[in-house]
């Protein structure tokens, strides 16, 4: 990739087949976006279904690498790019999650871009245990990545709101998966000053509420901006320092949404 600005976007699409069938959905967004690289989560499709759904985007010049989920109709991550990736790798080194379709990373010149779909969990259930096992091994992967010294950004749905600034109704979610004390403490370690990693959107926007990136379809959550900030750009410190702009591409209205998440787009000066 050339030494020009690199714009990266990430969005949980809540099913590629549903997102592309909507009139002003994912395909329309891809045709308009200025992003160079787009990270997708919760694709919920086989590789064949993914390529079929995104065929118009491929015809327009997008390239795809993907991690097909072992469980049909669940998970799945992908990376779309204007130029082919130099290389890509699936999984973060944990055999338990190797075929889960939750992590993929791709190299573009001197930058690695990753798409992550961290498990959502459910308090006091085996799903939460699975989430915490993933968190443990993924923290090790993040440490190895920093040690490797390559400029990297891990984009995606991390399924944890870090602080009270990161969700509207934090008082009502103290016992909810995604805002549990141990999950927030885990993000404390990921974002620690000596970790080598930076929460790029927080660094760009400062100590403000949000900007949120996910709103429940239920009730008036979207209309009232009662959201969660769980979609992150987590970049190695040098790359994070080059970030110039970061925006949440919130839909204009409830009925124009094509996912319950909004794209989070950051431009890095290269």
Provide the annotated active-site residues. 157
Q: Is the dihedral of CA 2, 53, 138, 168 positive or negative?
A: positive
CA distance 127 to 248: 29
Residue 105 and residue 88 in contact, taking contact as beta carbons nearer than 8 Å: yes
Return all residues near 139 (Cβ < 8 A) that are at least 6 apart. Answer: 186, 189, 190
Strands laid side by side in the 87-90 sheet: 87-90, 103-108, 111-117, 151-157, 231-236, 197-199
Residue 195 neighbours by CB distance under 10 Å: 17
CA distance 145 to 44: 27
Q: Is the peptide bond before 87 cis (omega within 30 degrees of 0)?
A: no
Q: How far is CA 81 from CA 1, 33, 35, 40, 194, in A?
A: 10, 12, 8, 11, 31
CA distance 108 to 112: 6
């Amino acid at each position: 990739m050339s030494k020009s600005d690199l714009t990266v976007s990430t969005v949980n699409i809540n099913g590629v087949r549903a997102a592309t069938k909507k009139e002003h959905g994912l395909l329309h967004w891809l045709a308009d976006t200025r992003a160079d690289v787009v990270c997708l989560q919760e694709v919920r499709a086989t590789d064949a279904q993914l390529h079929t759904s995104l065929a118009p985007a491929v015809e327009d010049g997008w390239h795809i690498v993907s991690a097909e989920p072992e469980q049909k109709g669940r998970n799945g991550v992908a990376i779309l790019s204007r130029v082919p990736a130099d290389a890509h790798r699936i999984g973060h080194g944990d055999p338990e999650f190797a075929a889960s379709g939750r992590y993929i990373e791709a190299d573009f010149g001197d930058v690695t871009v990753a798409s992550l779909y961290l498990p959502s969990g459910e308090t006091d259930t085996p799903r939460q245990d699975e989430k915490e096992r993933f968190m443990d091994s993924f923290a090790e992967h993040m440490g190895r990545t920093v040690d490797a010294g390559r400029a990297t950004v891990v984009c995606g749905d991390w399924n944890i709101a870090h602080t009270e600034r990161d969700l509207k109704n934090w008082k009502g979610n103290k016992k909810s998966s995604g805002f549990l004390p141990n999950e927030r403490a885990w993000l404390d370690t990921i974002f620690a000053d000596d970790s080598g990693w930076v929460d790029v959107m927080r660094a760009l926007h400062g100590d403000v509420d949000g900007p949120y990136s996910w709103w429940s379809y239920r009730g008036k959550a979207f209309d009232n901006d009662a959201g969660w900030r769980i979609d992150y750009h987590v970049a190695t410190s040098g790359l994070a320092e080059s970030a110039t702009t970061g925006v949440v591409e919130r839909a204009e209205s409830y009925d124009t949404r094509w996912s319950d998440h909004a794209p989070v787009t950051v431009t890095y000066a290269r």
